[in-house]
Structure 1
Amino acid sequence: MRLPVLFVLAVAFAALVPGVAAAEDCVDQTPCPLGDRSYHVKVPDDWDGVTPMPVMLHFHGWARQGTLIVKHGRISGATRKRGVLLLAPNGLNKSWDFWHPGSQDTDFAAAIIEDAATRYPIDRSRIFVSGYSWGSNMAWRYACENGTDIRALLAVSGTLDQDEDCETAPLEVRHVHGLTDNVLDFPFGPDGDTTYAVSLWRNMLGCGEVTGTSSYSTTERDHFDRTVWDDCTAGSVTLDVHPRGHFIPRGWFAKQLDELLGLGS
């Protein structure tokens, strides 16, 4: 992974100024400064102050900021109950630069992880990157450029072009999308093929035929059809689809983290 300029500056600044990396300096609604930008942190419930934590870096949707993410019941409500440190970057102008390779936000997000590691002990083998809507597009972009550092991509209702030329891919991809999404349309393939929505990652990870299908529900209204490719040469891909529109399904992040962390459902 390339070393972002912001990371180098953050480490140098922390070394020069005593106490700059104190964890209590920025939590919840108080942002952590990083260069001329910032991010928010939500520490999990019952953390003992010592044990390295898994990390979920979450990119907010358009016109939002990290202040929403660290109090969002479907996001921080999932991480804080499962021992996961939540990092919520603030996008410039409340948006993200995901349209083309070489995103400035990729370097910014990578620097956030390094800066957070000066404040908290983190488990680098369990770094999850997630996002919703335009934030999901950005999460795909981050995985496309810094995927080798990601245990899993957890993406909700936003993709890149399936023909995107990515440099890297995460170890595991989990994507959920509504079939009637009219904000960021579900990327159907030829003849209505729903599996096309993750064809970029299936190609990157060397996946073959579908290895499993199932259905599950997280609430009385949230129902999903799941397709899995887990015989890939370099990882696995899971696609969850539902018949509804553009939103974060209740319980979806909680279920993914339970499965990834081996906590059960």
Structure 2
Amino acid sequence: MIYRLICLFLLVATQALAVDTCHGETACNLGERSYHVLEPDGWDGETPLPVLLHFHGWARQGDVVVNHQRIAGATKLRGVLLVAPNGLGKSWDFWTSDTGDVPFADRVLEDVAKRYPVDPDRIYVSGYSFGGAMAWRYVCQSGNDVAALLAVAGSIRQTEDCPEAPREARHVHGLSDTVMDFPYGANGDTTYPVALWREKYNCNGGTPRGDWSVRPFLTLSRVEWADCAQGQVVLDTHPGGHFIPHGWIGRQLDELLGRTPTYP
């Protein structure tokens, strides 16, 4: 009997330890769902952390995100806590406002704040492909406390009526994307992918900020809307297809955090 009690105690203690030490590929359980979290390099264990909540692409999970060089590679070097929720069926329900994934993401951020000292003024929301669309949906429904949207190659309809909004919206999309098609506007307007936020923020005309690149094989062109009643909008486009451009997430974080842009 005593032996069995000791074994039971050790089992419970081990399970509790697993819950408390979820990190990287070891998921944090949250009810019937879960998410992944990755601390930045060199964190002292006390300083409040900016957070990047990143939604994975279709047929993926958060373990991919925390091992992805173009995502985790950027957050680890910039003192940012990476949080990667797991979608049901490895996907996201972003099509309408009636989705359980927005309140789930709210719960994820609440749980993260119980585990880590979080900087509430520096919550960034990102995603790629279907995850990019989910990032748009999340900030559309629950974005008033979000510092910036960082969306890659995925969005929602530009005619959506969003009750909330982040303080800033940044989006990148390939002109040749045929997976989540580049959303050209009337007469081939290449600024249409951020029409929703330009209207939401009541922005005036955009300003071209020129081309930039971190790898010689891909050049991105930037347009910025800073003359807005609230917030600002940044759009980067490139001639390529459906992927996360090298250095894009890192550059956005550098700019948002007041750092000199570097690569990686």
Residue 160 of structure 1 aligns with an amino acid whose one-letter code is I
The within-5 A match list for 1:24-173 is 24-173=20-169
Bigger CA radius of gyration: 2
Q: Which residue of 1 aligns with 2:7?
A: none
- Structure 1 stretches lacking a partner, 5+ long: 1-16
Are positions 1:263 and 2:241 aligned together?
A: no
- Report deviation, 1:21: 9.6
Q: Which residue of 1 aligns with 2:6?
A: none
Distance 1:223 1:252 in 2: 11
Are positions 1:238 and 2:198 aligned together?
A: no
Over 3 Å counting, the alpha-carbon distance change for 1:96 and 1:177 in structure 2 is same
TM-score by length of 2: 0.91
The number of residues matched between the two structures is 248
Q: Summarize deviations over 1:88-124 as a string: whole Å, max 9, x none.
A: 0000000001001132000000110110011000001
Q: Which residue of 1 aligns with 2:177?
A: 181
- Report deviation, 1:135: 0.2
**Contact kept in structure 2, 1:44 and 1:81, CA below 8 Å:** yes
Identical positions, percent: 56
**Contact kept in structure 2, 1:151 and 1:172, CA below 8 Å:** yes
Distance 1:21 1:213 in 2: 50
Residue 240 of structure 1: SS of its match in structure 2? strand
Over 3 Å counting, the alpha-carbon distance change for 1:254 and 1:23 in structure 2 is farther
Q: Which residue of 1 aligns with 2:200?
A: 204
Residue 200 of structure 1: SS of its match in structure 2? helix
TM-score by length of 1: 0.91
Q: Which residue of 2 aligns with 1:5?
A: none
- Structure 2 stretches lacking a partner, 5+ long: 1-12
- Report deviation, 1:263: 1.0
Moved over 4 A (4+): 19-24
**Contact kept in structure 1, 2:19 and 2:29, CA below 8 Å:** no
**Contact kept in structure 2, 1:136 and 1:158, CA below 8 Å:** yes
Distance 2:152 2:225 in 1: 18
Residue 149 of structure 1: SS of its match in structure 2? coil
Residue 192 of structure 2: SS of its match in structure 1? helix
- Report deviation, 1:23: 8.3
